[in-house]
Amino acid sequence: MRVAAVGDVHCKKTSTGAFQGLFAAMAAAADVIVLCGDLTDLGLAEEARVLAKELSAAKTIPVVAVLGNHDYESGETDQVKGILTDAGVTLLDGDALEIDGVGFAGAKGLGGGFGQRALQPWGEDIMKRFVREAVDEALKLESGLAKLRTSQRVVVLHYSRCGTPWKGSPRRFSRSSARAASRSRSCAIR
């Protein structure tokens, strides 16, 4: 399976026509498109409508996504979710999905990391609340992964994890690969 992934598209009200080429190219090169959060710039329903139109260029393949912090900014998250879901996007938030024998699980995540490098819930109340939210997001992801029975799994997050690679993930990327991926803002994974 070929997966094309992009995050932080920050679609604005004025983005009409800005992403159709990207999504068409991703659909032509991959079997699944994964959107890794910050789909909208300010979390506005109007921005989600623009993004839904832009995604029409990729109607031939499944689109899987998680929301990011920007998608929560304006308090219109339910409308954003509804618009994208109506456009055929599968939004993961502790959920799991299987496509052609590959499992996808995802959640927004939150800063603070995972495992030994995770922030700890001690000190000020605000730090404890932040860590609690991060733990809740990690538990959502764990729940999604537990639902999968596939041997191959793709984890979709907006906030990246910290620490050592997960089992089966590459230990390092070449600098040229990282530069190419950041320039194109998308990449296909085989």
Report which of 81, 78, 100, 80 is spatially closest to residue 91, judged by C-alpha positions: 81
Structure tokens at 115: 């495992």
Query: What confidence score (pLDDT) does residue 138 get?
Result: 87
Kindly tell me if the per-residue pLDDT of 55 is higher than 70: yes
Query: What confidence score (pLDDT) does residue 91 get?
Result: 98
Write down the domain spans for the chain. 3-189
**How is domain 3-189 classified at the CATH fold level?**
Purple Acid Phosphatase; chain A, domain 2 (3.60.21)
| pLDDT tens-digit series, residues 84-135 | 999 999 999 999 999 999 999 999 988 776 667 677 888 999 999 999 988 8
Kindly tell me if the per-residue pLDDT of 181 is higher than 70: no
Report which of 77, 96, 99, 93 is spatially closest to residue 33, judged by C-alpha positions: 99
Amino acid at 109: G
Kindly tell me if the per-residue pLDDT of 74 is higher than 60: yes
Residue 133 CA to residue 170 CA, distance in Å, equals 28
Q: Residues 55, 26: contact at Cβ < 8 Å?
A: no
